[in-house]
Amino acid sequence: MAENETGKELVHLWSRPGIIVVDKPKGPSSHQVAAWVGKMLGCQVGHSGTLDPQVSGVLLIMLGNAVRLAPLLLQHDKEYICLMRLHKDVPKESILKMAEEFTGRLYQRPPRKSAVKRALRIREVQELEILDTDGRLVLFRVRCDAGTYIRSLCHHMGFALGVGGHMQELRRSRSGTFDEKTMYTLHDVQDAAVAARDGDPARLASMILSVDAAVPELSAVIIRNTAIDAVCHGAALAGVGIISCAEFAKGQTVAVLSQKNEFVCLGKTLLPSSAFKPGDTGLVIAPTTVFMAPGTYAKGWTKSDKVIVPKPKQKPKDTRVPSKKPDGGGKYRPGPRPSWNRGPGQKSGAPKKRYH
């Protein structure tokens, strides 16, 4: 068993996939916070949506194989509360008017200190609300696409006002469907881990959300119990294994659930929902990310009883050519001499020159 920095053995308190929403404090990096949670719970972890060390707020920590959800969680819209400092005094009316101009699709270039390539990109700001102003300080709430740099936004807003400005403080208040009401501090997680280690896992279990809670916007497909194990082994799902489903289009990502509403996998649809009915034959969904372990449900598929008789081996084809001589007698002679056995400048089948 692995040991931590103090030499004590790590206790594996959580072995199922799940998500815990942590209130990241100012100071440590997102990677450090995720590593601390992993040591507390003794499981593999990952985080979605990196926050700078001086930024606080909602940070999603994925437990176990829930880290496979990272590509979906990274696409979630974000909401921030930001404190911006202007470099000169500006009337409040001008600030309110400027906020309206900075909604919609905006061009952005990542800051020099960012970890990505500084290429020009387009991000959409759905809402920008000025909450309060105090002298040169401006407090606002912004709801935007994933990957929007609020530091660059403050810089551009200061330019638009003609006085310059920079970001003073920043806090993420929402990521997708997860907000501050569902998050816990690191102290809360540590207290729950200690209680679970002492035999009371109820508090820790109440903090950890199921995997399907991260993708409520996906169309749900309910499948039969006899089809689950085959899907867990990577088999494509046919219409006969589907009980019910929501509407979806071809090529769309859907959530595949069991009859007990357990999250089985994510899959890509091979045809639209209007092209089949539950119980029809034909492949409908190809699994892309499986979360349920194989063997959780009994195998509903069996091998065929048909005995396959191996075909007899065929004799190799005779490549020799019959002799063209009249007195050949129907005998065979070898084919053309290979090139490595010919003399210099000698054509295929030509007699070798002899020198006396």
Q: Which residues are catalytic?
A: 52
Distance, CA of 190 to CA of 34 (rounded, Å): 13
Q: Which residues pair with 268 in a beta bridge?
A: 253, 286
Tokens of residue 130, six digits:
């000025």
Cβ distance 299 to 316 under 8 Å? no
Distance, CA of 66 to CA of 312 (rounded, Å): 50
Cβ distance 223 to 279 under 8 Å? no
The most distant pair of C-alpha atoms in the chain lies apart, rounded to whole Å, by: 116
Nearest to 228 by CA among 293, 283, 276: 293
Looking up tokens 């071809």 gives 250
Single-letter residue type at 44? Q
Distance, CA of 269 to CA of 279 (rounded, Å): 16
DSSP state of 116: S
Tokens of residue 47, six digits:
């985080």
3-state secondary structure 33-100: HHHHHHHHHCCCEEEECCCCCCCEEEEEEEEHHHHHHHHHHCCCCEEEEEEEEECCCCCHHHHHHHHH
Looking up tokens 């992993």 gives 38
